[in-house]
Amino acid sequence: GRDVTGVQTCALPIYQREAKQFWRRVEQAMGVNDWLICRRVCGENFSVAAAVTAINPGYRFSTLARFREALDALVEGMKRARRGDV
């Protein structure tokens, strides 16, 4: 197709679409807070302490333990997404 300026556009390649769908399934398989912590630390360059205390203030003195829980949820979410359990 063409956009409004007449420039030729192309659809999202299949592998990119599949990757996006995979990460959506991972997100659905995880708890909201676990997903937010992982996204902030791994994707938005937050420090572990800043991400954890912003999302779960009760873990102020055990931020690394909470981050490990979020990473465990990420691994489990990825497994579930690959199996199609989501």
Taking only the tens place, the pLDDT of each residue in 34-59 is 999 999 999 999 999 999 999 999 99
Predicted model pTM: 0.81
Q: Is the pLDDT of residue 2 over 60?
A: no
Taking a C-beta distance cutoff of 8 angstroms, is the pair 70, 38 a contact?
Answer: yes
**pLDDT level of residue 8 (50, 70, 90 thresholds):** low
Digit-coded pLDDT (tens) for 57-71: 999 999 999 999 999
Q: What amino acid is encoded at 83 in this protein?
A: R
Is-contact 25 79, C-beta < 8 A?
Answer: no
CB 34 within 8 A of CB 74: yes
Based on the number of CB atoms within 10 Å of its own CB, is 45 exposed (0-12), middle (13-18) or buried (19 or more)? exposed
